Structure 1
Amino acid sequence: MIPGTTAASFLLVVVLGAMSPGPDFVVVTRSALAGGRRAGMAAGLGIALGVFAWVVAIALGVAAVLTASAIAFTVVKLAGAAYLVVLGVKAWLAVRRGEYRDLGDAAVAERLGAGAAFRQGLVTNLLNPKVAVYFLALLPQFLPAGGATLQTLELAAIATGGTVVWFVTLAVVVGALKRFFAAGRVRRVLDAVLGSVLVALGLKVAAETA
């Protein structure tokens, strides 16, 4: 078992890391804007599942192979970068079409569904090899000497829980501002800004080295 103080410290680090601006933050924010609180939460759950998958991959040694292989790392990185650009372009296209209305019952069918938001969160995280690098560097600092796979899985559960807490909180906050964000003009501006951020993040990821 991981000691309580170690688990608490690890949880704090994970939450602070999740709070830092990046692709996951933007995806959850835009999901909550496009589909409401439920879609934002679903995107956060997708991201959390991605985190769990990466930590399990580390426990099994898969992530170490990925980060050790320049070709594999580059392939996953470029796929992730392309996905972010695609999401950004979709936001731009929504602005170009100008099909915004104040979000009421008539617009429910146009909202982003929870399933689609979940997939966006999951894919965004799984196609970001920097997550593997981050946890490969972080986990040894919290594992006891000779730590077993079971203890790594305990940390995976903690990391998943911390990620869920932060992104669900973010979705709830965005959802609480629903009336402000529901205005068509505001949505247009936010889609333009968040779309640009997603494209910029995609290009940044593509240009980064391992």
Structure 2
Amino acid sequence: MLTSALAFASVAALINITPGLDTLLVLRTSVSQGRSAGLVSALGILTGCVVWGIATAVGLTALLTASRVAYDALRIAGAAYLVWLGASALWRSRRGGWDEGAPEVEVETRGRWAAFRAGLGTNLLNPKAGVFYMSLIPQFTPDGESVFTMTLLLTAIGMVELAIWYWVVSGAAAALADRLRRPAFRRRMEQVSGVAFVGFAANLLADGGRTA
């Protein structure tokens, strides 16, 4: 079990630090709203990982490869959500300030809830995340070991690695934003992330590599 866990940790670490949608979300949120909001968005992503891990442990993610309808429904919903996130980011970049007339505590509360919701939504509405868990984790489950237990253990290992990675990313992004202190930088980040979210949505809609 220990050998399998260490092997999985090595592979998962390489996958986790590869730039992707989730890392972009944490990066963008940390730049535009500060490190605390970036970490809240990371918490939403990790919550989604917990859901996918449990779903894999009980066999629910098998539905994504067994049913094209289920996979496509989640894929389209995920793409629509990414388009909404991208459009919102582009709108904010054109509009300028964020809720300038609202009380500071209210803005902070809404911002953190939105950050958590974005992290959770982008993770749960991505069918590739479910397929990833279902295809990778079984390869590191030794014969004779409980599939349920090993799945939860490997999911926990992946989450710890992700949490460390997002801690580093959010800290670096927030520090960079504080150093520059330019509204133009924040607007540019919103523009870049908005286009990237729409690009991820297009890629998700164009995905045809799954076998039913």
Report the TM-score, using the length of structure 1 for normalisation: 0.89
2:198 is the counterpart of 1:199: yes
1:30-54 deviation line (CA, Å, top 9, x unaligned): 1112221011111112111211211
Q: In 2, distance between residues paired with 1:8 and 1:161? A: 13
2:158 is the counterpart of 1:172: no
Match of 1:187 in 2: 186
Q: In 2, distance between residues paired with 1:14 and 1:182? A: 35
* Deviation of the 1:12 alpha carbon: 2.4
Match of 1:143 in 2: 141
* Deviation of the 1:108 alpha carbon: 8.1
Match of 1:71 in 2: 69
- Contact 2:82/2:198 (<8 A) preserved: yes
2:23 to 22, 25, 31: 25
> Which blocks of at least 5 consecutive residues in structure 1 are unaligned?
101-105
* Deviation of the 1:206 alpha carbon: 1.0
Q: Say how many residue pairs are matched.
A: 205
- Contact 2:52/2:61 (<8 A) preserved: yes
- Contact 2:64/2:131 (<8 A) preserved: no
* Deviation of the 1:107 alpha carbon: 7.8
Match of 1:15 in 2: 13
Cα RMSD, aligned residues only: 2.2
Q: How does 1:31-50 map to 2 (within 5 A)?
A: 31-50=29-48
Q: In 2, distance between residues paired with 1:70 and 1:185? A: 44
Q: In 2, distance between residues paired with 1:189 and 1:107? A: 24
- Contact 1:78/1:206 (<8 A) preserved: yes
Q: After the TM superposition, which of the residue ranges 20-29 and 191-200 deviates more from structure 2?
A: 20-29
- Contact 1:52/1:159 (<8 A) preserved: no
* Deviation of the 1:117 alpha carbon: 1.0
Q: How does 1:49-88 map to 2 (within 5 A)?
A: 49-88=47-86
Report the TM-score, using the length of structure 2 for normalisation: 0.88
| Secondary structure at the counterpart of residue 141 of structure 2 | coil
1:42-93 deviation line (CA, Å, top 9, x unaligned): 1112111211211211110100022210000000011111111111101110
- Contact 1:14/1:163 (<8 A) preserved: no
2:120 is the counterpart of 1:131: no
| 2:96 aligned partner, one-letter code | G
- Contact 1:180/1:186 (<8 A) preserved: no
* Deviation of the 1:15 alpha carbon: 2.4
